[in-house]
Amino acid sequence: MYGLPLFENDEDFEIGNNVMVMEIDVVLMKGKRNKGNPTTYVIHEQDDNLAFCPIIHFLAIAFADNAFDSEKISKPEDIYNLQVPTNLNSIQIKWKPDMQDKPIFRRATRTADGIRISLDKALAYDTCNKNLKRLGRSAGFSDNVTLYCLRRGVANVVDGVATDAERNQILGHSRAEIFQKYYLSQRVKRDVQSAYLGRPSKDSLIQRIGQMSMTRDVRAPTALTSKQLSTIARHPRVVELRAAKKALSAELKSVSGKIKDGKGTELHHRYTLASKELASEQEYLRRSTLEQLRSEYFKDVDTLEVDQQLTERPSSSDKDAESKVIDFTFEARTRLAVQLFQGQNDTARSSSRVEVLEDLVNLCTLRETPRLRRQDESSLDELDTAEPDLFPIKGDLDESSVQWNRTGSVATGPSDPKVLKGTGAELPQAA
């Protein structure tokens, strides 16, 4: 991908005089990594909902990375002022030569200055998958949203519009049987009832039934409360492991003075293993407890809703809709929450795109300052094992702890979980 072709607009798009597209060569297909010719996908600007426009998101990263070959492109407005000359069918908005082999999506790394976006290390699949799961949880999905969900969703959508050969090319499959065995939805996608009765098909209804958003509920728990975390901190196994770590820490300090000075010794190795075991146990208990809470919530919430309505009490969802106001930390995020998810008329399209792109670029350049460590040992255990928060979803950063920076961006043995039940890890009620 060496640039963005800019074409003169035609009747298919309502976004202005020109339209940008992008060709993406995929060479790391499953089963044939770097083998044969790459599969090339073409993506384009979306002319209705900017949240689903891939081009504007790529442009934001390009501006944040200063990736444009032309030095005259310095602000988002410059992009949308370009025109295709009458003697050409298109022009290429090219990247700098040194940017062409640089990963577009890069991982966050720990540095002496805090969490920073790496200049050359690609974002790992597992990290992206974990972030997507967290995003889906915050959005209220009952099932985990993963990259495979997106792939499987694409497979079933294109199955209705593409030939077998085209579908195999899109998915990188060598034969049609792979889709039929592993990807084809078990839910029949046709309105068999209407077909049998000779009635007009309700295909849109059938499709809605199969969507993950069918059971989405933003009231579902997304994180453990302080009380639930405190319960985990007092779990017998955690207390035991913390005591073992503390004893090894004291012994190591008595021998070496400082923990870091004992590196390479058998005692330091035992201390490291004890620290990892404690972190693993805490993470397991946090994850399994939250999964249990969410499972019970989605199991009970519909019956609670029915009971509330039939006892003539206001629906909890209605009350939530009236009282819930999302407070974003940053003004740019507040504006994006509105602009990304609204349709635009013809006169507002161009200016709206510029404003959205400017806000996206600003968010790409946010950098979080190092956080102060809390001093109680149980809190330190949780802090030491926590991964950097790469994208605060619900405005959970203090604006005073953030700096603007144009050059560096922050994206910022198991136990039985049932023992936690009834000890502070109760299901939050949807009342």
Contact 316, 218 (CB under 8 A): no
pLDDT score recorded for residue 150: 92
pLDDT above 60: residue 20: yes
Residue 408 in 3-state DSSP? coil
List residues bridging with 115 in a β-sheet. Answer: 110
Cβ distance 37 to 48 under 8 Å? Answer: no
Q: What is the pLDDT of residue 387?
A: 44
> What is the Cα–Cα distance from 83 to 115, expressed in whole angstroms?
40
Q: CA 377 from chain center: how many Å?
A: 31
Nearest to 360 by CA among 68, 109, 53, 103: 53
**In the chain, what's the furthest Cα-to-Cα distance?**
85
- Residue 6: φ, ψ to 5°: -110, 120
Read off the pLDDT band of 61 (50, 70, 90). very high
Q: For residue 394, which of 312, 337, 320, 309 has the smallest C-alpha distance?
A: 337
Are residues 357 and 63 in contact, defined by beta-carbon separation less than 8 angstroms? yes
Tell me, what DSSP letter sits at residue 35? -
pTM of the model: 0.74
Q: Stretch 47-76: mean pLDDT, rounded? A: 92
Contact 148, 158 (CB under 8 A): no
Task: Fill in the amino acid letter for 148.
Answer: Y
Dihedrals φ, ψ of 95, to 5°? -90, 160
Which one, of 373, 366, 362, 371, lies nearest residue 391 by Cα? 366
Two tokens at 276? 């990892």
Confidence of residue 386 (pLDDT cuts 50, 70, 90): very low
For residues 69 and 400, the model is more confident at 69
pLDDT at position 383: 38
